[in-house]
């Protein structure tokens, strides 16, 4: 019975390499077929798992999933002020909108 899953009553069922390869090849790039990047796929999958948790665990897991990107401008070999990317982007957009209306 080579290539098929089989087990005796005293053994746990096992997945053969052939079965695993067939399943993996069908699902390996489902994120590509959906038209999203691998990073986006991971973000969506992580969010789904976090939301499936019980309330106390879910709140702690959601906090870990939040991101806060920061950046600093370097001039003359010295690091400038560290800024929050979202705040800096909002300020730049407001400034650009103000200049466009003048």
Instruction: Output the pLDDT for position 12.
Output: 56
Same domain, 53 and 82: no
Instruction: Output the pLDDT for position 1.
Output: 47
Domain extent for 32: 17-65
Instruction: Output the pLDDT for position 62.
Output: 78
Same domain, 48 and 77: no
Q: pLDDT below 70 — which residues of the chain?
A: 1-28, 65, 67, 102
Per the structure, the count of domains in the chain is 2
pTM: 0.38
Q: Are 51 and 44 in contact (CB under 8 A)?
A: no
Asked if residue 32 belongs to a domain, the reply is: yes
Asked if residue 30 belongs to a domain, the reply is: yes
């Amino acid at each position: 019975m080579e290539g098929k899953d089989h087990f005796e009553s005293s053994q746990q069922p096992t997945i053969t390499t052939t079965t695993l390869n067939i399943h993996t090849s069908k699902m390996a790039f489902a994120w590509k077929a959906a038209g999203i990047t691998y990073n986006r796929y991971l973000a969506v999958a992580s969010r789904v798992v976090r939301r499936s948790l019980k309330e106390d665990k879910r709140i702690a897991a959601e906090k870990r999933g939040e991101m806060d990107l920061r950046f600093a401008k370097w001039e003359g070999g010295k690091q400038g002020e560290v800024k929050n990317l979202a705040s800096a982007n909002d300020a730049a957009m407001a400034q650009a909108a103000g200049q466009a209306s003048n």
